[in-house]
Amino acid sequence: MQQTLEFIENYAIWGYGILFLYSFGGGMIALLAASVLAGVGKLDLSLCIIIAAVANFLGDELLFYLAKFNKNAVLPYFKKHRRKLALAQILFKSYGGKIILAKKFIYGLKTLIPLAIGLSKYSAKKFLFLNAICAIIWAVSLGLLGFFAGDFIQQISEKYGQNTSFLIIFLVAILFALWLYFEKQTKRTKI
């Protein structure tokens, strides 16, 4: 446990870089992990939220513009995700701009919704504005959730001392199980 905390303290700057890179393509788990670390005092919450929001915003903008101006070059790379891309287009047509916020929380569609919107005739300025607001809402909500979870872990650790390793292992196991569940739910079933 102590070695893990020392590693985190010594390499916290790498945590911000990893958060940026991971948030560029989605970043829900990375933001939760970083904000939990902020809750225990290892990272700065404000910086985590800003980094995640900016990276998420930039990643979605990149995907939007790739689809908008390079349709023929982008589409071949997404052949195996045709069903998800079609679902993303249906969701966008059904819910319009509201799906920009919702997609930030939908595992498996986070990268495909901006592509679907880019393939449509949706206004680039409108997408930029809505994407910026939604990235901030996403980062603040998940950042605060993780921060309070980290604060809770810190309180448990102070109350029970060094015997909290099982709690951290349990929380990591829950996050991993959630990831596996969402991964399985988004895979195409064979008929």
Domain borders along the chain are: 1-188
pLDDT at res. 191: 46
Can you list the alpha helix ranges (DSSP code H) found in the chain? 2-10, 12-24, 28-39, 45-69, 71-74, 82-95, 98-102, 112-119, 124-160, 165-186
- 182 CB burial (10 A radius; 0-12, 13-18, 19+): middle
Is residue 122 over pLDDT 70? yes
For residues 116 and 89, what is the distance between their CA atoms, to the nearest angstrom? 5
54 vs 80: which has the higher pLDDT: 54
Token duo for residue 152: 């809770």
State the helix-helix crossing angle for 45-69 and 28-39, rounded to 10 degrees: 170
pTM: 0.75
Residue of 89, 94, 91, 100 whose CA lies nearest to 124:
100
Is residue 9 over pLDDT 90? no
Residue of 14, 37, 7 whose CA lies nearest to 168:
37
| Whole-Å CA distances, 94 to 78, 97, 167 | 22, 10, 42
DSSP state for residue 85 in the 8-state scheme: H
Alpha carbon 119 to its chain's center: 22
Is residue 25 over pLDDT 60? yes
Contact yes or no for 112/99 (Cβ under 8 A): no
> What contacts 155, CB < 8 A, 6 or more positions away?
none
- 132 CB burial (10 A radius; 0-12, 13-18, 19+): middle
Stretch among 17-21, 37-41, 141-145 having the lowest mean pLDDT: 37-41
126 vs 89: which has the higher pLDDT: 126
DSSP state for residue 70 in the 8-state scheme: -
pLDDT at res. 117: 86
Is residue 79 over pLDDT 70? yes
